[in-house]
A and B are shown apart, each in its own frame.
Chain A
């Protein structure tokens, strides 16, 4: 038992994992911490940029946890974030540039992985191997191979891994799913999700690595490339770091809801069109994308367009049933026709993209060892759907998916895109 967690043994036995997660190979570098029902959870946030700073602000004021470490390859980021936490709480978390030092600490129960996408899989796996529970932002992976390895690591090491698909914890989406499950919309035959375009331009101005930034560590398993502010600050536009841009950004959130509503998380086929038609738009990842997914007994669409609205909503999900249709976004659920007698449901206003109920669900899972609402298997499958759309866009043809084998049918060339080679010494 770790030195910090000499808590009452009976309390642990009451909250310890049973479940499907098989505890395996605990710590690579550190002993697995055990969080009791009343222990304050000790956290580190790896990646302190845009989304990382939102998580840090929310976690700093959550009385279930203590932020003990912040980590970013850019020193200025964790300095600034630590300043903010100190202002908010009076306690200054330790700062690190190299995540390995964070994983080596035996007093940390869980890590938040809020880095660019290409680091999500490996940090999750290494976190599991170090005996940490992991909250990983979406997209959880950039390839199918990575995603499956993440699930295996979570199970092998018996760790809790929550995906950052926080809409699973929002009452407005839970309400929408309840209505769909009630059968009042009839048989759902089509769903559609939409949002605006990518915001990332082309062009690159390579230059010297800024002081305080470990560029080689930022690249990590991705192919080596000279530093440029466009890569560092706009990673979502680049295939090496994000496989889809908006498709793998908002696309995960909204297609996750589509799959939740349909009760299916494995597509049958996918077709995708895309383009960057404005001058100076889109580095690798296209601005405008439309994808059509086939599921058993129904189909779904994804749209990212300029000025994209449906009934005045700039993003959202529609479900179309034989008896009625449902719209949901983070604010409201609307069902038509009115004759169904289902009134509009208005959710709590979203205060931050970092969602405290989703954090709390992660903490509850850490304490009880039950699977969280956005367990890594589900997070992986939602991520897979949009990754497969990105591959269909790359190869320019309809692809048929074998969800059980996690391979395309009859298309070995497309199957090459399911895997990426890691730059040594990093490996899955």
Chain B
């Protein structure tokens, strides 16, 4: 009976009532026994937005859990949809409907349903009295649900309601309300929280201090200290935690640095609890300066000193700034040997170059414990300059030092690789290569060297490997080494290695890199010739062309062309013209020679080889290309593409003496160029002469 009353009430309040609309079908689906229909209704009702609310809201009170839960889910999503500007009216309908379920006469389970949804439905500015009244309900569960709801709503009105409930609440609920206020962080609640910081109940005082902690307002210092000093065993942690958070907040707000440091120092000096003292030291470390160092050192001399060491070392690792570095270096000089071990570890994690000399010295110390700490700290420092110290230990005869150092080198190398710091990674892998004691480490290091070639690695490659081993390495990586050597001014070494590699440039990647390297080593024409590119051509064009025609239109009597012939096109005479490309990669830029769109051009040349030879013609083109060698078609690609090296290849047998090469290159639009080179079947550049 009560459910029917609620249904009727909600419908009247909202001013709607069931009409013969598609909503009927959806509501029927939501409330029927067909689970597929229910899931469909759950999906589609959300689209109806506010229009669905008068029909769905009453279903929250349905006795069948499948139905009220489905209604709850639909309303959850509608609440999300209508919480945007322009849909305030729909949201209001939802909020009013839910608030109506909080009326005193409604059963508790209806109220709980509404309280679950109200955080999503209640906008800023909306009155929350129905929820606020529940904060004083005799039912403790409802009181608690209302508090949770208001904390999640987080509006000004919600915070006011929580604040206003404090006076009448018992200490346990006061404490819970204050925790809610500490989460909402509304300034107008602070006075109330401040007044309760003097409560007779220690729980309430500690919760009030937590609510005030985020303010960092120095006005509250006496209160915060009093809560801390008057805390009992059950609340001392929360009270001190609040004071330390308060000091953190003072620092973050700025302007009262000394005050905050004073609070940390006060806790350190006056609270004999090691955990509280450690927290204070942590604060000094996170936010302090060089003045924190002597304070912490003094604490280490106290009765609790040994137990404070972990906190002190963590603080040393956190302290920032040149002055703090200097203070720590001074402190290190005065520290006991035991303390030095811990300090070295902490300094390593600072990742600060200022400590590198100290770490390097530690990594050579006669005391084995300090020596090992130094090695680990060098690796932790992540400084490229630490590699030398690690390498020295990795190459020592001391097994333990060696193992630690190799591990450190691996870590650094992997780190640099992951961060793509090429120079540092190359150095780290090189150091690892030199230090590696087993094949697995050596191979991993060499893989790294190949990936990040640096000039210094050249000697490793040349001196450490047999020619057979070198031949197994990817040629592209070796060309990278050549470039590195060249950049380092080691031109002779670069030339030697490059000469050795010329026979192995059998991948497009290697050829691309070689073009770049050789182009820097000498004249571009020479580079092109070394790579087998033909750079001298007779060119005729442009002739009309279309993709549909492909290579089917005969323009120059191909393949039997006469480079002395003349052609007439659009009342203009056209002759073959000589062209020599100066590009190291042999690119013939037809756009510059005979520009046009939807055209083609022909390039003809003669080469000579001393003896009959099997060869491969390799071409790249923008756009299509057809190649005849000695009148025989060997490549045909009717494509629209950018030009790259070695995009196509065709095997040919060259005659001893003169051979002819004819290229037809098409232009569909944009760039227009081609390149052609001759290689042996295994990819090495084929020596030949141009016949001019």
- What A residues does B310 contact at CB under 8 A? 16-17, 23, 32, 34, 158, 369
Cβ contacts B223-262/A at 8 Å (1 or 0 each): 0000000000000010011001000000000000000000
- What A residues does B144 contact at CB under 8 A? 224, 423-424
CB–CB A158/B77 < 8 A: no
Q: Which of A14, A20, A181, A223 makes the CB contact (< 8 A) with B345? A: A14
Cβ contacts A13-32/B at 8 Å (1 or 0 each): 11111111111111110011
CB–CB A182/B451 < 8 A: yes
CB–CB A424/B176 < 8 A: yes
Q: Which of A1, A14, A427 makes the CB contact (< 8 A) with B306? A: A1
CB–CB B244/A394 < 8 A: no
Given contacts A10-B369, A24-B311, contact A421 B183 (CB under 8 A): yes
- What B residues does A19 contact at CB under 8 A? 314, 317, 346, 349
A14 to chain B, nearest CB (A): 5
CB–CB B179/A26 < 8 A: no
- Bound CA span A203–B152, Å: 27
B326 close to chain A: CB less than 8 A: no
CB–CB B420/A181 < 8 A: yes
- What A residues does B350 contact at CB under 8 A? 18
Q: Which of B43, B66, B153, B283 makes the CB contact (< 8 A) with A203? A: B66
A270 to chain B, nearest CB (A): 14
- Bound CA span A153–B76, Å: 32
CB–CB A158/B311 < 8 A: yes
CB–CB A18/B317 < 8 A: yes
- What A residues does B673 contact at CB under 8 A? none
A299 close to chain B: CB less than 8 A: no
CB–CB B183/A17 < 8 A: no
- Bound CA span A416–B380, Å: 41
A425 close to chain B: CB less than 8 A: yes
- What A residues does B37 contact at CB under 8 A? 279
- Bound CA span A280–B502, Å: 69
Cβ contacts B60-78/A at 8 Å (1 or 0 each): 0000011001100100110
CB–CB B275/A25 < 8 A: yes
Q: Which of B10-18, B116-124, B550-558, B579-587 contacts A (4 or more CB under 8 A)?
A: B116-124
CB–CB B317/A20 < 8 A: yes
CB–CB A10/B244 < 8 A: no
Main secondary structure of the interface of A (DSSP, over half): loop
Question: What number of residue pairs across chains A and B have CB atoms under 8 A from each other?
Answer: 213
- Bound CA span A28–B144, Å: 26
By the criterion of a CB under 8 Å from any partner CB, how many residues of chain B are at the interface?
A: 89
- Bound CA span A396–B43, Å: 12
Q: Which of B18-61 contact A (CB under 8 A)?
A: 34-40, 42-43, 46
CB–CB A23/B281 < 8 A: yes
Main secondary structure of the interface of B (DSSP, over half): helix
CB–CB B124/A14 < 8 A: no
A178 close to chain B: CB less than 8 A: yes
B484 to chain A, nearest CB (A): 17
- What B residues does A24 contact at CB under 8 A? 244, 278-279, 282-283, 311
Cβ contacts A41-79/B at 8 Å (1 or 0 each): 000000000000000000000000000000000000000
CB–CB B349/A396 < 8 A: no
CB–CB A424/B341 < 8 A: no
CB–CB A421/B148 < 8 A: yes
Given contacts A279-B34, A416-B153, contact A424 B179 (CB under 8 A): yes
User: Could you write out 30 A-B pairs with CB less than 8 Å apart?
Assistant: A1-B306, A10-B338, A10-B341, A13-B339, A14-B342, A15-B345, A18-B317, A18-B342, A18-B348, A18-B349, A20-B318, A20-B349, A22-B314, A25-B275, A27-B275, A158-B282, A178-B418, A182-B417, A204-B69, A206-B65, A224-B141, A277-B43, A279-B34, A280-B39, A396-B80, A397-B80, A421-B147, A421-B149, A424-B176, A425-B176
**Interface set of A (CB-CB < 8 Å, partner B):** 1, 9-10, 13-28, 31-32, 34, 129, 131, 145, 156, 158, 177-178, 181-183, 202-204, 206, 223-224, 275-284, 341, 369-370, 394-397, 412-413, 416, 419-425, 427-428
Known: A23-B282, A183-B420. 12 other contacts (CB 8 A): A19-B346, A25-B237, A131-B275, A202-B69, A204-B69, A223-B116, A279-B38, A370-B349, A416-B119, A419-B151, A424-B173, A424-B175
